């Protein structure tokens, strides 16, 4: 068993099979449709979430895990192996209180353990890529200090862009007005979003037409990475067609040496809506 245990939360969108492969533990956020509360990725699947989202007049709310939930997770892991180190990597503190809950949870332990809590300053696989890299290094026997150093390097280097299929969910969430959403849909405007170095969602550009928007995203990555070899993860919300087309285009123009896939879960999916596509890239 690895001397370093990796823990994350459900917003990292690390596929279950990958979590099981590396023994990654996951603390779920909660998704609330009215009075109904679900554990993200545990008591509600992505398919069930997007089916409910399509029928909802109002967007669901999300709720971070409590410090006690993190404390209990840390206690369980340390009870199994008291001398192990724990690296706990979470959703950007600029987007959620999840990171702070994890910090507070580690401070609640009666018997302190070797726990390092990291603010991913990102969301979805922008966080997930850190989690998987940490787990790969842990499985290879790398020490905690080296893993943390590598994670901090990736945080400075990675880039991600989201392409939305519809403006409807931004409008429902109050991010844009109804008139703007209608006007944008008529003109086939495709917003391109990213997450900046501080973990804040930012609008990078808005392009008329899907093909032009996809090429714009690839051009942005070319500015970021040039001809350097890169690792790429393609993500989508419920419908994968646009994402796979975007990934195929990127592969023709970037030096992609590794490609992964993931479905984006409820937290980002609430505002992006179904059919959104995302690429997450870092240097090899």
Taking only the tens place, the pLDDT of each residue in 142-158 is 999 999 999 999 999 99
Spell out the CATH class of 159-283.
alpha beta
DSSP 8-state code for residue 12: G
> Which residues, given as ranges, of the chain have pLDDT below 70?
1-2, 167, 170-187
Q: What is the pLDDT of residue 103?
A: 98
For residue 167, the model assigns a pLDDT of 67
Nearest to 284 by CA among 153, 194, 196, 161: 153
Could you tell me if residue 141 is left (phi over 0), alpha (psi between -120 and 50 degrees) or otherwise beta?
Answer: left
Q: Residues with Cβ < 8 Å from 224, sequence gap 6 or more?
A: 159, 281
pLDDT 10s digits, 169-185: 765 655 444 544 444 45
What pLDDT is recorded for position 174?
52
- Rounded Cα gap, residues 228 and 206, in angstroms: 27
Facing residues of 28 across strands?
Answer: none
**What pLDDT does residue 35 have?**
92
Q: Where are the domains of the chain?
A: 4-29+64-156, 159-283
Cβ atoms of 234 and 278 within 8 Å: the answer is yes
Phi, psi (5° rounding) for residue 229? -65, 140
Task: Tell me how far the alpha carbon of residue 283 is from its chain's centroid.
Answer: 18
**b/e map of 48-82 (b: 16 or more CB within 10 Å)?**
ebbebbeeeeeebebebbebebbbbbbbebbeeee
User: What dotted CATH number matches 4-29+64-156?
Assistant: 3.40.50.10170
């Amino acid at each position: 068993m690895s001397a370093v245990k990796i823990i994350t939360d459900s917003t990292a969108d690390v596929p279950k099979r990958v979590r099981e492969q590396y023994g990654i533990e996951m603390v779920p956020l909660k998704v609330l449709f009215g009075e109904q509360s679900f554990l993200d990725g545990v008591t509600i699947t992505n398919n069930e979430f997007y089916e409910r989202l399509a029928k909802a007049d109002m967007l669901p709310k999300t709720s971070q895990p409590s410090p006690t939930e993190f404390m209990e997770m840390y206690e369980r892991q340390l009870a199994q192996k008291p001398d192990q180190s724990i690296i706990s990597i979470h959703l950007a503190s600029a987007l959620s209180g999840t990171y702070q809950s994890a910090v507070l949870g580690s401070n609640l332990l009666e018997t302190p353990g070797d726990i390092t809590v990291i603010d991913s300053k990102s969301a979805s696989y922008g966080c997930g890529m850190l989690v998987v890299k940490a787990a790969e290094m842990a499985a290879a026997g790398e020490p905690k200090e080296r893993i943390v150093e590598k994670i901090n390097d990736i945080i400075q280097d990675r880039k991600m862009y989201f392409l939305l299929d519809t403006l409807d969910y931004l409008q429902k969430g109050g991010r844009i007005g109804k008139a703007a959403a209608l006007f944008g849909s008529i003109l086939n405007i495709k917003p391109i979003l990213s997450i900046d170095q501080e973990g804040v969602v930012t609008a990078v550009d808005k392009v008329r037409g899907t093909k032009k928007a996809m090429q714009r995203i690839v051009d942005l990555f070319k500015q970021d990475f040039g001809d350097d070899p890169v690792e790429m993860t393609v993500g989508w919300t419920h419908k994968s067609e646009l994402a796979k087309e975007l990934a195929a285009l990127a592969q023709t123009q970037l030096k992609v040496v590794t490609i992964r896939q993931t479905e984006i879960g409820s937290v980002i999916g609430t505002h992006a809506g179904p059919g959104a596509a995302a690429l997450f890239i870092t240097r090899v």
